[in-house]
Structure 1
Amino acid sequence: MPNYSPSSASAIVADAVSGSHVLKIEGYSLTKGCGTGEFLRSEIFVIAGHRWHIKYFPDGVVSDYADWIDIFVQRDDDTDGKDIMARLWISLLNHDGESVPSHDIISSQFEKYSPKTARGCKKFMKRKDLEESSYLKDDCFSIRCHVTVRNEIRTFKTRTLVDVPPSNLHRHLLDLLTSGKGGDISFEVGGETFRAHRYIVAARSPVFMAELLGPMKEKAAACIRIDGMEAKVFKAMLHFIYTDSLPNIDEDEIVGMAQHLLVAADRYNLERLKLMCEETLCKSINKDSAATTLALAEQHGCDGLKKACFEFLTSVDNLKAVMASDGFAHLKSSCPSILEVLVTNLSR
């Protein structure tokens, strides 16, 4: 049986329905003089299941717009009391039925329409401009009102016909490491022997690549001795090489293991492992460990970890406690230059 939970899927669907209505004004000159605020209305038209009509104001909606033609669109539903969200696009048309860009008004967003809401365009076009344009022909002109109504947003489950499990390559490689099957290289570390696979180890570490597959003397060796590293640290590093993750580590050993693994990762150019250790140590800085951690960061080129230490030491109390710790003497002797940087940072 698969050791993963089946996946599921759902969808959020937001869509809209659009439609348009063309209103032709015949005998334009006779519509003038109706009076400010007076309108002529189109026939009812239906878009997205809702009734609408166009209001044509030949003398403007209010007295300030008396020289303008104003166009509004009103929802004309009597029975459906629900609010809807809609967007308008009002256009003057040329003789080919195409929108005139200079008189093409589009709402910037969807707006709420109650059953009798009217919205539109004040100062749609000056009467003088229309009368002097080619768009008024034989005392006629046309406008088009395009309405887009947003449907209610819906959520529903979708079927997953093929359920692809997550990758388990790391588990297979760990099984290969644990079983030792096909192993063709051994490492002696701290009195323990670890069986591994030359090509896997080399593929993960440029240093091992040079040692195992390059012209170095270890190329033909069946067993390589690793000095300066504890067996448990090498075992954890080998686990990372095969799985790209770390094994379970006891909580009281996490910081110490991270320090040792950072050194090992830097030694074998395992950049991701090094950054993982650096992240762990950044979260674990305290008065007892700050000096040792800062020295470690300086020696192995961990800029992020150094910054975290400097930030911790900006506190006078923290600085006094760290200077009194055993690790500070080690920091002074091993990394004297870092103290100059520390003083410079504190003096800012």
Structure 2
Amino acid sequence: MGNTSSSSSAAARLDGCSKSTIVAVQDTETGSHVLTVRGFSRTKGLGVGKCICSGAFTVGGHSWCIAYYPDGERPGSGDWISVFVFHHQPAAGGTSQDVNARVQLSVLRPNGTRLQEYTKTTQSPVAFGPASGRQSWGWCRFIRRGELKFLGLRGDTLQIRCDVTVVKDTRVETTATSPSPAVAVPPPDLHRHLGHLLESKVGADVAFDVRGEVFMAHRAVLATRSSVFMAELFGDTKEKATSCVHVDDMYPSVFQALLHFIYTDSLPNMRPGDMAVMAQHLLVAADNYDLKRLMLICEDKLCAFVDEKTVATSLALAEVHGFTSLKEACVQFLMSRENLKSLMASSDFVHLTRSCPSLVKELLAKVVS
């Protein structure tokens, strides 16, 4: 008991003492460079360990280059594209000592935005790559080549953005503070609790029969998130008085993903190859249930997955539902005569011509002009 009391008193004295903080402040310079690989599918076969280098660019008084390995930098990485950024040489007026730098590499969508799942950052130079005694940063397994077809890249073109931040100077600043209570506040976790509520079905008071598969949910949660559900479940409609609502215009997997978003404000995890198809269906569902944030999320996903397999369906969705960004992404993809020729040779083009004749006329006019 005596030891416990002594420890408590020491903790109290520590909490009430004044404090000072030493902060290391860094002066940095950041620069960016975009490497564009046109006809990236034709770079395959260059050979393991062989690279193509970008033009040199300058950041922080140093010259840099990007090394692109279409067949991987070393044996065992043949299924991957390796990318490294290396310290080429000091720029005019620079010095030759090692550089303290942070490097970020990102695969870009056709609209120039980063694909977050293919964005990597490192501050540690590696002992391999094209350095030849110089510093280099990067990844031997940057992106698996087989995943490129799921990224919605246009015109057989791959763009990789490199952001280099060079630490030029570090200084130390000291600040003093008076005693104050320290409270560790955790991040918001409402979405986690609501997700558990959906999974557990505790207190669920409405059922949805979606093509024979039943999903339980909570009226109040659905109505809070969607004005359409508010009208259906609490308005003057037949659904207000029933405990089971029939949904015939949606697949069960799509409705399950819709419920997941309503409760957690996020999409369920899925493979990149499945995302494009799910996003098409969810985009329609989000429009039907007035879920504007979900609409924008799905539209953004589809803009990133525009290819010869999805462009016709996405273009029709954009026209019918008025999704202007998705329409523009599809039109930009079809500005390539090769992509347009591939679409026109498919059965999807026949369906598109029948369902949206004015759209096809508008599209052809843009491409021809």
TM-score bracket, shorter-length normalisation = 0.5 to 0.7
| Offset at residue 249 of structure 1 (A) | 1.5
CA RMSD of aligned residues (A): 2.4
Displacement, 1:202? 0.7
Contact 1:186 1:195 in 2 (8 A): yes
- Are residues 188 and 161 of structure 1, via their aligned partners in 2, closer, same or farther at CA, if it must alter by over 3 Å? same
Tell me, in whole angstroms, the C-alpha distance in 2 between the residues paired with 1:319 and 1:343: 9
Q: What is the deviation of 1:190? A: 2.1
Deviation of 1:161 (Å)? 2.1
The Cα of 1:13 is off from its aligned counterpart by 7.3
| Alpha-carbon distance in structure 2 between the residues aligned to 1:298 and 1:233 | 21
Report the CA distance shift for 1:155/1:285 in structure 2 as closer, same or farther (over 3 A): farther
Q: Distance in 2 between matches of 1:155 and 1:325?
A: 66
1:291 Cα deviation from its structure 2 partner = 1.5
Q: Could you tell me which of 196, 203, 207 is aligned with 2:228?
A: 207
Q: Deviations over 1:68-92 (max 9, x none)?
A: xxxxxxxxxxxxxxxxxxxxxxxxx
Aligned mates of 1:297, 1:270 — CA distance in 2: 16
Alpha-carbon offset, residue 192 of structure 1: 1.1
Secondary structure, in 3 states, of the residue corresponding to 1:236? helix
User: 1:87-134 deviations in whole A, cap 9, x for unaligned?
Assistant: xxxxxxxxxxxxxxxxxxxxxxxxxxxxxxxxxxxxxxxxxxxxxxxx
TM-aligned CA deviation for residue 155 of structure 1: 4.5
Q: Does 1:284 align with 2:302?
A: no
CA distance in 2 between partners of 1:210 and 1:231 (Å): 22
- Structure 1 segment 75-94 matched on structure 2, within 5 A: none
The whole-number CA distance in structure 1 between the counterparts of 2:259 and 2:301 is 19
SS in 1 for 2:245: strand
Of 246, 249, 258, the match for 1:225: 246
Q: Which residue of 2 aligns with 1:318?
A: 339
C-alpha spacing 1:178/1:306, structure 2 compared with 1 (3 Å): same
Structure 2 residue 273 is the aligned partner of structure 1 residue 273: no
For 2:322, give the aligned amino acid. Answer: G
Distance in structure 1 (CA, Å) of the matches to 2:305 and 2:233 = 36
Residue 156 of structure 2 corresponds to none
Residue 270 of structure 2 corresponds to residue 249 of structure 1: yes
Give the corresponding residue for 1:181: 202
Ranges in structure 1 where 5+ consecutive residues have no aligned partner: 1-8, 15-151
Task: State how far apart, in whole Å, the 2-side matches of 1:155 and 1:336 are.
Answer: 67
Aligned AA (1:300): H
After superposition, residues 14-25 of structure 1 pair within 5 angstroms as none
C-alpha offsets along residues 202-236 of structure 1, whole Å, 9 cap, x if unaligned?
A: 11111111101111221111110111111111000
Larger Rg: 1
The 1:191/1:316 distance shift into structure 2, 3 A limit, reads same
1:272-314 Cα shifts (integer Å, max 9, x gaps)? 1111111111111112221121112111211100000010111
Q: Could you say which residue in structure 1 is the equivalent of 2:218?
A: 197
Output the TM-score relative to the length of structure 2. 0.52
**For 1:283 and 1:303, how far apart are their aligned partners in 2?**
14
Unaligned runs of 5+ in 2: 1-20, 27-169
- State the alpha-carbon separation in 1 of the partners of residues 194 and 235 from structure 2: 24
Q: Residues 343 and 182 of structure 1: is their aligned pair in 2 closer, same or farther, counting only changes over 3 Å?
A: same
